[in-house]
A and B are shown apart, each in its own frame.
Chain A
Amino acid sequence: MKLRKKKSGNRLMSRPEEGKNPSRGVFTRRALLLMAAQGAVLGALGERLYGLQVLNGSHYAKLAENNRLSKRFFAPPRGRITDRFGISVAANRINWRALLLAEETSDINGTLERFAQLVPLEPRDSVRIEHELRHKRRFIPIMLRDFLSWDDMARLELNMPSLPGVLIDVGTTRVYPFGPLMAHVVGYVAPPAEKDVVHNAELALPGMRVGRSGIEQTQDLSLRGQVGSVEMEVNAVGRVMAELDRDPGLAGDEIALTIDSGLQQQVLGRIGDQSASAVVMDCRNGEVLAMVSNPSFDPSLFDSGVSQTQWIEWTNNSQTPLINKAVSGLYPPGSTFKPAVAMAALRAGTLSPSDRITCPGYIDVGGTRFHCWSRYGHGTINLRQGLKYSCDVFFYEVARRTGMDPIAATSELFGLGAKLPEIELPHVRQGLIPTPTWRRAHGHHWNGGDTIVSGIGQGFVQVTPLQLATYVSRIATGRNVQPHLIRSVAGRMADLTDLGRAPGMDMPEHFFEDIRAGMFAVVNEEGGTAPKARLDIPGVQMAGKTGSAQVRRVSRAMRESGHFNSANLPWEYRPHALFICFAPYDAPRYATAVVIEHGNAGADVAAPLARDIMTDTLRRDPVNHREPPGQEVAQAEVD
């Protein structure tokens, strides 16, 4: 009470003074002015806030969404490739790798230095890392090292605090459990090239691989699968805070081949270290059961990059390990071409099975003398004997009578020098059956002699081992079978695999019988050229045809000197050894073509090899098995 009284008194007393002191009045006026200014400023800010938040709110809200959401894509697992019994021939293995997110470290060089002390980086790696650091995109990690071992990982994990920005991540790499054995058929994958990424941004994802050869290349799209994605909430440094939405993507299709990996192994074992190619087919539906090209290479080397020295070694090797000789190797078929010539003549009516031709050891056509392989000749023989003895003169004469155009037309019907549309491999070569038209198109004259040498599969004639196997399958069954390598895709059987799908060849059956009989005689009759091809399985016979294809013209002088022996020639001038065959003779099921580069005589080298392969095939009988026969293959499976 006392206080209040004093106060009010105070106020009363001081009131008269107020008017006399101008400073208070001035102050009040000016303070009000300042308050107006303050109010105006804060009011303007409130108005600006309204503009930012309410009027333009949705625009900024969209920008905030963009900030917050990050969609990340990941590579789907690549489809497995198996053989006909489900054994993996191309699979995926988990691959631990170290990545660097440059935004999370302030000292990239320091981090890299400490990293290199723990896990050594090859100079090649360092160059790549430097390049990637210069071209990287914001918040996209770059790869430091992959294929980390368990020890590497332990060392890295232990030292994580001194390695800011380093992440350990898991991806997959392609493994090929059979290594070189299946390399040509299955092919290999490699990281996509810059130009691929330009066309398809999906390929830029870490871990994406592109098929570069074989089935991996031709079936790349179905093996690749569909890219998955995760929508994530990320913070300002790109660290994932929450996962909002996930699209798991689609794993690539699993592809089952027609190949029997066990048979493939046996065939390779029979070939040994020769530079050769062999194809085994189911001659009823065209399934390729084995396709071997030797020497081979390790396909898994391509995933991480092939070293320069390895590459030079491969490309300089005269035995061409990188090339699949079965579809890309072109060889003159030599005497294996004779059944096709005979078929052409039968169809053209220029030869009947009973016609007899005399072989004195040579024939003169247009002033040139063409020799038979036998200096003494074969006497007077019919078609069956012509095939059995592989008489050159007989087929010179048949070719001369028939002419080149009908021979070429018929050979192409059997797949020789023709496209094989169903074979699922890249770099398939077509070969050539020469015709006068073709010769003229290249500005040359077609001589009568050209027809003569073509009659024994020499000259310009060039075919692949797969074409030979197709040709002998068609002879064996009279059906237009198409060779193919894929049995099923994602569990759906390929149409071609159905038995009875292959249409007939539209030629009289007795033509086929005549030719098969000749080929039977080659192997099984006294005096045939390939007695070494006779099967050692009771009740089963094989029919076949030998071939020795010269790669260099043998001069008359050399031949007449009597000392000519092609085995004395340098390797690359020796003739190729070929053999084509099918078995069992009375109910054809398997067809085989064997080409041994510079193997000399087909009868001595190729025929026994073909016999061994056929024996293995018949013993395994892969087309009648549901399970892989034997245990030796199953152990090779890695997953």
Chain B
Amino acid sequence: MKFQKRLLRAEPNFQILTKLWQVNWLYVLLICALAVIGYGALYSAGGGTSRPFAGPQSIRFCFGLVMMLGIALMSPAILVRMAWPLYIFSLILLVAVLRMGHVGKGAERWLMLGGMQVQPSELAKIALVLMLASWFHKISYRSMGNPLMLVPPALMVLLPVALVLKEPNLGTAVIIGTVGASMFFGAGMRLWQIALLVLPMPFLAKIAYSHLHDYQKARVTTFLHPESDPLGAGYNIIQSKIALGSGGMWGQGYLRGTQGQLNFLPEKQTDFIFTMIAEEWGYVGGITVIGMLLLLVFGGMLIAMRSRNQFGRLLGLGISMNFFLYCAVNLSMVMGAIPVGGVPLPLISYGGSAMLMVMFGFGLLMSAWVHRNSTFGETTPGEKD
């Protein structure tokens, strides 16, 4: 009853329009700007037409934008209630994709759902963020000192990580794990607990490497020596670096990047879209995109900090972290800083489920912003215990 009352107090009867007014339109504008850049890049990747990539992708973006605004209007209470079902659903999909999924390029797995390719790992990331945020929201800061309280959320992280590893998609598993870890960190995990976890890591990594698939090991070795196999696994990295380098300071000009337009760039519409942008627009274009991505990440973090409830804070942190990791892994990959893996550049790369899930995440972030002043269910040391 008390909870109900609080809820009512914290959630005054907003009208939909006033809630919409509360949306951080500057942030939405930034998202749209990146989507426009993505449209331009996909138009170029399609050889100067919108037909193969840019057109469908822009429709998906519009759909995602509407979805984002819809989710932004949902109150934290509703989102908390959605967490468990969504999480379970994502786990079911992850199991399903292992059983009957389609394999593409050795790693990414997808399911055909209603004529659409769905990558369950994309959903799993968002569901996990939501799940962890609602879990940490419900326990107090003090109770986190008890390691036992960390066991259930740890299992929540490890379950999807294990399933994704089984796919086997190392890149996504690492991202999911890192997002989970960052939320533990943000939720107030004690430093000694962290130390206990981090110290045995190198040892575990060694064991993990011995269990990697051959193609994953090959990625590691060709990453270390890309010239050893210029036409095989190292081809992508070499061609990507050549494309970046030939862009120079000011770029080769829109639709005039030879590496991209002549198909030397592999997967230029998905993983290597950033390379294409940097080839055609040069360092100026590339650093602009990186700057805008960083603004979105920092914006998300600031939104998180601004929230008055733990749920909103952790939600914002998780979503921003997820977005950041996507960008960082993709950019490192195309610049040859880490082994190649099927991680797209969010908002820009061609791909339906990645786009929808990114917008879903931004919807959650916006909801945290819109409801930033709500202190619903906030457990203060005074009230509980």
Contacts and interface: CB of A to CB of B under 8 A. Distances in A.
The judgment on whether A and B are partners is yes
Interface of A: 3, 6-7, 10-11, 14, 17, 20-24, 26-28, 30-32, 34-35, 38-39, 41-42, 45-46, 48-50, 52-54, 56-61, 63-65, 67-68, 233-237, 241
Closest 9 CB pairs of A and B: A60-B245, A64-B246, A23-B141, A235-B262, A236-B263, A57-B248, A53-B283, A61-B246, A68-B258
Interface string B230-246: 00000000010111111
A64 B243 contact: yes
Contacts of B314: 27
- Residue of A63, A234, A237 with most partner-chain B CB within 10 A: A63
Interface in B292-307: 293-294, 297-298, 301, 304-305
17 contacts: A21-B380, A24-B313, A27-B317, A30-B188, A38-B294, A38-B297, A46-B291, A48-B337, A49-B286, A54-B249, A54-B283, A57-B246, A57-B249, A67-B259, A67-B264, A235-B264, A236-B262
Given A39-B294, A39-B298, A60-B241, A53 B373 contact: no
B2 to A, nearest CB: 16
Contacts of B247: 53, 57
By DSSP majority rule, is chain A's interface helix, strand, loop, or mixed? helix
Contacts of B324: 38, 41-42
Contacts of A53: 244-245, 247-249, 278, 282-283, 286
Interface in B158-208: 182, 185-188
Contacts of B290: 42, 45-46, 49
Contacts of B263: 235-237
A3 B304 CA distance: 22
B94 to A, nearest CB: 27
B12 interface: yes
B186 A64 contact: no
Contacts of A38: 294, 297-298, 301, 320, 324, 328
Contacts of B60: none
Interface string B139-155: 01100000000000000
Given A26-B188, A42-B294, A57 B141 contact: no
Contacts of B12: 3, 6
Interface of B: 10, 12, 18, 140-141, 182, 185-188, 239, 241-249, 258-259, 262-264, 278, 282-283, 286-287, 290-291, 293-294, 297-298, 301, 304-305, 308, 310, 313-314, 317, 320-321, 324, 327-328, 331-332, 335, 337, 373, 375, 378, 380-382
A45 B331 contact: yes
Contact of B328 (A21, A42, A67, A234): A42
B305 A27 contact: yes
A311 B293 CA distance: 75
B259 A49 contact: no
Contacts of B298: 35, 38-39
Contact of B248 (A46, A54, A233): A54
A7 B12 CA distance: 10
Contacts of B380: 17, 20-21
A241 B373 CA distance: 59
Contact of A63 (B245, B249, B305): B245
A140 to B, nearest CB: 15
Given A27-B188, A49-B286, A237-B263, A63 B313 contact: no
B313 A27 contact: yes
A57 B245 contact: yes
Given A7-B373, A22-B141, 5 more contacts: A6-B12, A34-B301, A60-B244, A63-B242, A237-B263
A384 to B, nearest CB: 86
A52 B381 contact: no
A35 B302 CA distance: 9
Contacts of B241: 52, 60
B262 A31 contact: no
A236 B320 CA distance: 37
A57 to B, nearest CB: 4
Contacts of B239: 67
Contacts of A30: 185-186, 188
A49 B289 CA distance: 12
